[in-house]
Amino acid sequence: MTNPDSKASHPPITLGVNIDHIATIRQARRTTEPDPVAAAVFAELGGADGITVHLREDRRHIQDRDVRILRETVQTHLNLEMAPTAEMIAIALEIKPDYVTVVPEKREEVTTEGGLDVAGDFSRMTQLVEKLQGAGIPVSWFIDPEETQIKAAAETGAQLIELHTGRYAEAKTEATRKEELAHLTQASDRALSLGLRLNAGHGLTYQNVYPIACIPGMEELNIGHSIISRAVLVGLERAVREMKDIIRS
């Protein structure tokens, strides 16, 4: 899976840590812990180059209060993932994240399914870019690695795209995974040739991330579920020990 030569020619890739699922745990009890604001501090201590949160329209995990406080506390950069709605545009204009990633959203989905159809709703998407980038907030489109979407993304005037790595991550065979990696690599080349900056994410894990990190020109990977899942397990032994120390002290 590794390719030691391919990283030599571009600047170090950065890691945006998505902390949505810290909030998922909190919302399961509608309580105050764990706090995504504290999680962002720990993620930055661990070397996160950026913090990503998806403020869903149904507020199933991240809350408005989280985004507002994170804007004040995040020391790296804050990437706000949001649907292309008037409500979310207003929130972004008020909070001014370092950049926004515009994602498709369906109420009933478990997580984001597929990329945004920028080409299919071109004039609305262009207006969104004018509003947000006009206010100094760079826009990134979360799109599938497809020519039509990449071309449309560039034509909206947005500065960035985030390639949806879901199909690659979910590939059932090595052959399909290679095919999906080839699509992502070609799409990345095309995006760079059109002057877009390049991010990727969704479904990336400790096992599948490296080939994506090796794609030439890749700037930032946004990773959440796998990191939070690992954090829960690697932190459990210490958490149990601390509780036991208290009840026996």
Ligand X SMILES: CC(=O)[C@@H](O)[C@H](O)COP(=O)(O)O
Ligand Y SMILES: NCC(=O)COP(=O)(O)O
Q: Which residues are catalytic?
A: 54, 81, 202
- What is the H or E stretch that residue 148 is in? helix 147-155
Write the CB contacts of 175 (distance below 8 Å, at least 6 apart in sequence). none
201 binds ligand X (CB under 6 A): yes
Among 201, 209, 212, 219, binds ligand Y (CB under 6 A): 201
Of 88, 93, 92, 95, nearest to 71 (Cα)? 95
Among 95, 203, 212, 215, binds ligand Y (CB under 6 A): 203
The residue assigned the tokens 């059109």 is 194
CA distance 76 to 13: 14
52 binds ligand Y (CB under 6 A): yes
Of 96, 105, 80, nearest to 20 (Cα)? 80
Is 18 annotated as contributing to ligand binding? Answer: yes
Binders of ligand Y among residues 204 to 243 (CB under 6 A) are: 204, 222-226
Count CA atoms closer than 13 A to 209's CA, side-chain side: 19
Among 167, 177, 197, 202, binds ligand X (CB under 6 A): 202
Site stretch for ligand Y (CB under 6 A), options 65-73, 122-130, 152-160, 196-204 = 196-204
CA distance 233 to 151: 42
Closest approach of Cβ 105 to ligand X, in Å? 8
CA distance 1 to 15: 19
When the beta carbons of 79 and 185 are compared against ligand Y, the nearer one is 79
Is 111 annotated as contributing to ligand binding? Answer: yes
Q: Which amino acids are annotated as binding site for 3-amino-2-oxopropyl phosphate, given as ranges?
A: 18, 29, 203, 224-225
Give the binding site for ligand X (CB under 6 A). 18, 20, 54, 56, 81, 103, 111-112, 142, 201-202, 224
